[in-house]
Amino acid sequence: MSYTAVVTEGSQAQRVARLKRTELLEAAVDELVAHGWRGLQMQAVAKRVGVSRQTVYNTFSGRDGLAAAMIEYLTDSFLDGFDDAFATGESPAGRWENGVRYLLRRGDDDPALRAMLGLDSGKQFLGLLTSGSAPIVSRARERIPATVLRSQPELDLARLTHVAELLARLTLSEIVQPIAELEAAVFTVSEMVAGFLGVKVVGGVGDSRSHDLRVTGGVV
Q: Render pLDDT for 71-103 as a digit per residue (tens, 0 to 9).
A: 888 888 889 999 999 999 888 878 888 999 998
User: E strands of the chain, at which residues?
Assistant: 199-202, 212-215
131 and 35 inside one domain? no
Does residue 66 sit within a domain?
Answer: no
- 17 confidence band (pLDDT: 50, 70, 90): confident
Q: Rounded to whole angstroms, how far apart are CA atoms 122 and 37? A: 6
Same domain assignment for residues 56 and 79: no
Write the pLDDT tens digit of every residue in 19-50: 889 999 999 999 988 988 878 889 999 999 99
pTM for the full predicted model: 0.72
* Domain membership of residue 154 as a residue range: 71-215
pLDDT in tens, 166-186: 998 888 777 777 777 888 888
CATH code of the domain in which 23 resides: 1.10.10
Specify the amino acid at residue 158: A
Sign of CA pseudo-dihedral 44, 50, 51, 52: positive
Contact yes or no for 177/117 (Cβ under 8 A): no
Q: Which pLDDT score is estimated for 214? A: 45
3-state secondary structure of 63: helix
Instruction: Look at residue 209 in the predicted model and tell me its pLDDT.
Output: 40
Q: Pick the last residue of a domain from 40, 60, 80.
A: 60
The CATH number of whichever domain residue 191 belongs to comes to 1.10.357
Q: Please tell me the predicted confidence (pLDDT) of residue 120.
A: 53
- With 0-12 CB in 10 A as exposed, 13-18 as middle and 19+ as buried, what is 170? middle
Last residue of a domain, one of 60, 79, 100: 60
Give pLDDT, residue 2.
45
Single out the residue of 176, 144, 175 nearest to residue 159, CA to CA. Answer: 144
Asked whether residue 220 is domain-assigned, the answer is: no
pLDDT at 194 over 90: no
Q: Is the dihedral of CA 97, 100, 106, 107 positive or negative?
A: negative
* pLDDT tens-digit map of 120-145: 555 556 565 555 446 778 889 999 99
**23 and 75 part of one domain:** no
Q: Say if residue 34 is in the same domain as residue 76.
A: no
54 falls within a domain: yes
Asked whether the predicted pLDDT for residue 191 surpasses 90, the reply is no
Q: Are residues 37 and 93 in the same domain?
A: no
Residue type, 165: E
The whole-angstrom separation of Cα 38 and Cα 173 is 21
Distance CA 184, CA 5 (A): 59
Q: Which residue has the higher pLDDT, 178 or 111?
A: 111
Does residue 122 contact residue 130 with C-beta atoms inside 8 Å? no
Instruction: Tally the domains of the chain.
Output: 2
In a domain, 30, yes or no: yes
Name the 3-class secondary structure at 153.
coil
pLDDT reported for residue 162:
94
